[in-house]
Amino acid sequence: MSDRKAAGVKTESLAEADRHWLIARRVRVYPRIIVAAYLIFTAALVLLSKDLIDPLGRPLGADFITFWASSHLTLNGDPAAAFDGAKILAAERVAVPANEKLFLWHYPPMFMLVVMPLSLVPYLLSFLVWNLLTLAAFVAAMRKIAPVAATVWLTLAFGGTYVNFIHGQTGFLTAALFGGSIVMLGRRPVLAGILIGLLCYKPHLGILLPLALICGRHWSAFLAASVTTIAFALTSVAVVGLESWRAFFENIPLVRLVFEEGMLPWVKMPGFFPSLRLLGADTTVAYALHGVLALAVAAIVAWVWWRKTPIPLAAAVLVTGTLLVTPYSFDYDLVLLAIPVALLGWDGYRNGWMSWEREILVLAGVVPVITPLVAEITHLQIGFLILLAMFAVATRRAAASGRTL
């Protein structure tokens, strides 16, 4: 008797699965159609642009311009200038002279080391190289998580993939490191810890990682992650200087202000706090309610990892929990959702499906593309709702699983 049957959880039989609308042929064909649509839309965006400025007045590549500008300032001997609005705007105009929009830099100095080489080549070439290299790493990690040919097309068609690509953002790199650490944790824990440590350039997305490693008693990975984080930080001090760190910490109040007051677009932010603010909640109330949710999510993650749940299912709970716990995330960060979608999808494919799982996984794939538009029209953040649904699916499947030996 399977663990799920023993736990009283109903899964579909093979005959029932064959009658489901999401049949194998559609899984093969639909992603190709979606990718073709992405390519057509991108071609139209480029053709309608002038002087590298798109029809919405943004530079092609959007957020990537801050990465190129930070690299330019660093290579010219003034990395701390990335935190100065006037100076980084001037550097962004070196990349795209017609640009009039200011894109601020909020990353810790460790990330300056990652982006430092980008301005060695012209802006558009740099954008393509960055996207293609990080996308390749992301796809490779996903292929390891779900080792079937369809995974490549499903990953390319995933909504978060396209959103991250047109922004030139960090989502591919973050998901590659997160996904790689999950693949390696059971077999090569030290390497998994190193990959986790490298994620420290996104500290708000690493809140639950130490908790999971401690509760799961993954001490080798925890130690390796700690050492890697410290080494990464010290290397940044040596390369870009203490002044960059001083500027980073002095910049935090500005980040908080633009976040809390909606100067950053809440419609693109799927967290609970911006979802409440979008509905008109007071800042204090929104923080309080978000705190209650974060504590509940952290407790569930701790329980799942403490009971030695199989790593793939525990990781699905961890990743979705991470996106719920942080108040500060964007639609491009939903690239991370591809990880639990793949983990849960692969587990469902091998062990049977529970009710509504496939529908929620499909919605998770679509939501990153449409969430800003829906939020703009309705003031309802469906990105947050799908995160809750994904967390519920992952937790239910983890609870129904047997413990590892």
215-254 burial, b at 16+ Cβ within 10 Å, e below that, comes to: bbebebbbebbeebbeebbeebeeebbeebbebbeebeee
Identify the pLDDT of residue 352.
82
Does residue 174 form part of some domain?
A: yes
Residue 124 within any structural domain of the chain: yes
Distance CA 303, CA 212 (A): 9
* Residue 302 located in a structural domain: yes
pLDDT value for 184: 96
Q: What average pLDDT score do residues 266-281 get?
A: 92
State the pLDDT at residue 182.
95
Q: Kindly report the pTM of this predicted structure.
A: 0.90
Q: Where residue 18 falls among pLDDT bands split at 50, 70, 90? A: low
Report the percent of the chain where pLDDT is more than 90: 76
Q: What is the per-residue DSSP string for 13-67? A: -HHHHHTSSS-HHHHHHHHHHHHHHHHHHHHHHHHT-BTTB-TTSPBTTTTHHHH
pLDDT value for 403 = 53
Count of structural domains, the chain? 1
Is the residue at 405 inside a domain? no
Decide: 394 and 344 in contact? Cβ < 8 Å: yes
Domain that holds residue 208: 3-400
Predicted confidence (pLDDT) per residue in 316-342, tens digit: 999 999 999 999 899 999 999 999 999
Binning pLDDT at 50, 70 and 90, where does residue 27 land?
A: confident
